[in-house]
């Protein structure tokens, strides 16, 4: 029984793919609520469950978040002295991508229930722990979405404009945007990016 379950697990983690292009078809939001519930079963530091999720489903809400984030990205790119044409192309691509996804899940961390320390070193360790917990939750979420027949992409964009995301969605003050997950029906099965050989990622010290 356990061997069968393990084989299924090995298949699952290899089958899940980052899906960036979605069909123009509605999706079942109940599946996303289940995926968020599954995400919450991840391990977390102090069992503080430092993850928070904002499910953004309507066209209008997705578009206005994409607009706000695109404006900020445009400012950053202008500071990099890229050509206005290149900037416009990149921003348009990002807005299209967020608008074409059928739903967005903004994943945040919260320090609310984490330990508090007077010094910067231990405060940083608590912040890192919360973010690691959020990462574990996101992996659960991605696997759940995949098993429910949907495709998703983990995007880092909110890290570059957390204030903008917070304002656009009216998030509580302690919610710190960490990632954005786009979700929809996959247009096609994406290619499998090869994995680095294990001996480059692992050392054994016997
Ligand atoms: C922290 C993190 C940030 C990521 N940010 C982005 C992103 O901004 N845009 C994107 O298209 N993919 C993003 N990805 C997805 C990776 O590009 C993807 O996982 C990787 O290429 C391997 O492909 P796979 O997920 O299909 O195995 C991100 C993944 C992680 C874990």
Per-residue pLDDT tens digits for 185-201: 999 999 999 999 999 99
For the cut 90, the answer to whether the pLDDT of residue 99 exceeds it is no
As beta bridge partners, residue 52 has 108
17, 22, 96, 156: residue to mutate for ligand 1 pocket, most atoms within 8 A of CB: 156
In a domain, 118, yes or no: yes
In a domain, 93, yes or no: no
Q: Ligand 1: which residue has its CA nearest to atom 10?
A: 155
Instruction: Give mean pLDDT, residues 117-127.
Output: 98
In a domain, 79, yes or no: no
For the record, the structure tokens of 63 come out as 């578009």
The rounded distance, in Å, linking the Cα atoms of 107 and 178 is 6
Whole-number pLDDT of residue 3? 82
Whole-number pLDDT of residue 6? 96
Instruction: Give mean pLDDT, residues 161-168.
Output: 98
Residues 16-54 as b or e (16 or more Cβ within 10 Å = b) = bbebbbbeeeebeeebbebbbebbeebebbeebbbbbbb
Mean pLDDT score across all residues of the chain: 96
Q: Ligand 1: which residue has its CA nearest to atom 25?
A: 18
* pLDDT tens per residue across span 29-52: 999 999 999 999 999 999 999 999
Helix, strand, coil share (%) of the chain residues, nearest 5:
55, 15, 30
Q: Ligand 1: which residue has its CA nearest to atom 6?
A: 155
Whole-number pLDDT of residue 106? 98
* pLDDT tens per residue across span 66-88: 999 999 999 999 899 889 999 99
In a domain, 193, yes or no: no
In a domain, 127, yes or no: yes
DSSP 10-45: HHHHHH--B---B-S----HHHHHHHHHHHTTS--G
For the chain, the C-alpha Rg in angstroms (whole number) is: 19
Whole-number pLDDT of residue 1? 63
Instruction: Give mean pLDDT, residues 14-39.
Output: 97
Task: Give the CATH number, domain containing residue 133.
Answer: 3.40.109.10
For the record, the structure tokens of 97 come out as 């991508």
In a domain, 117, yes or no: yes
Boundaries of domain holding 152: 16-57+101-188
Count Cα atoms within 13 angstroms, Cβ side, for 46. 16
Total domains in the fold of the chain: 1
Q: What are phi and psi of 106, to 5 degrees?
A: -90, 120
Whole-number pLDDT of residue 64? 94
In a domain, 78, yes or no: no
In a domain, 41, yes or no: yes
């Amino acid at each position: 029984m356990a061997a069968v379950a393990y084989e299924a697990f090995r298949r699952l983690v290899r089958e899940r793919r980052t899906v960036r292009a979605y069909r123009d078809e509605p999706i079942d939001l109940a599946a996303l609520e289940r995926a968020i519930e599954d995400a919450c079963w991840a391990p977390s530091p102090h069992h503080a469950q430092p993850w928070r999720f904002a499910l953004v489903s309507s066209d209008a809400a997705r578009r206005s978040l994409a607009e706000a984030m695109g404006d900020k990205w445009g400012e950053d790119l202008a500071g990099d002295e890229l050509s206005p044409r290149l900037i416009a192309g990149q921003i348009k691509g990002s807005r299209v991508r967020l608008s074409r996804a059928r739903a967005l899940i903004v994943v945040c961390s919260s320090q609310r229930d984490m330990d508090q320390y007077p010094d910067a070193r231990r405060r940083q360790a608590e912040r890192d722990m919360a973010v690691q917990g959020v990462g574990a939750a996101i992996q659960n979420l991605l696997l759940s979405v995949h098993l429910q027949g949907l495709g998703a992409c983990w995007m880092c964009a909110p890290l570059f404009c957390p204030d903008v995301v917070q304002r656009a969605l009216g998030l509580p003050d302690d919610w710190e945007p960490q990632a954005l997950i786009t979700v929809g029906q996959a247009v096609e099965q994406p290619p499998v990016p090869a994995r680095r050989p294990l001996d480059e990622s692992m050392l054994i010290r016997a």
